[in-house]
Amino acid sequence: MPKEKGERVVATNRKARHDYTIEDTYEAGMVLHGTEVKALREGRASLVDGYAYVDRGEMWIDNVYIPEYFQGTWNNHTPRRKRKLLLHKEQIRKIAAKTREGGYTIVPLRLYFSDGRAKLEIGVAKGKREYDKRQALRERQDKREADRAIAARKYVGE
């Protein structure tokens, strides 16, 4: 039985949701060294430059920054190494087929602990163009203004 219960988020990739349209999301386990887990438990990681790919039927994540554990010894991990992701073979096949389709990539969305185990949420995403990003920002701003107007109207009406 795990010591920790629930979910604790370590890092999120907010830029991915801005730069990409997320089609599907998957939860994957990660193969980590001991000092990497300790550094993650301190809540230090960055997913901004990370990307995932399929190589010979295995899923890998690269360029995810997990800093060195400051109390580690000579066998400390390297901060930006390739890490293997643990997914079912059918999920890997589905993701690989989607990325071969063209225009799709695999981006890390968030890194978290679920019941004491490190998990990574990855998304199959398609890149947005500049006008798509502007339109999404405009829609978000219009929705915020509409919500404010409704809230102000309710306040005045009472």
The rounded distance, in Å, linking the Cα atoms of 71 and 153 is: 56
pLDDT at 121: 92
Q: Could you state, in chain order, the average pLDDT of each consecutive group of 10 residues for the chain (158 residues)?
A: 74 83 89 82 82 89 81 68 90 90 87 88 85 81 88 74
The rounded distance, in Å, linking the Cα atoms of 31 and 112 is: 14
DSSP state of 103: S
Phi/psi of residue 141, each to 5°? -65, -40
pLDDT at 24: 87
pLDDT at 89: 93
The rounded distance, in Å, linking the Cα atoms of 83 and 59 is: 9
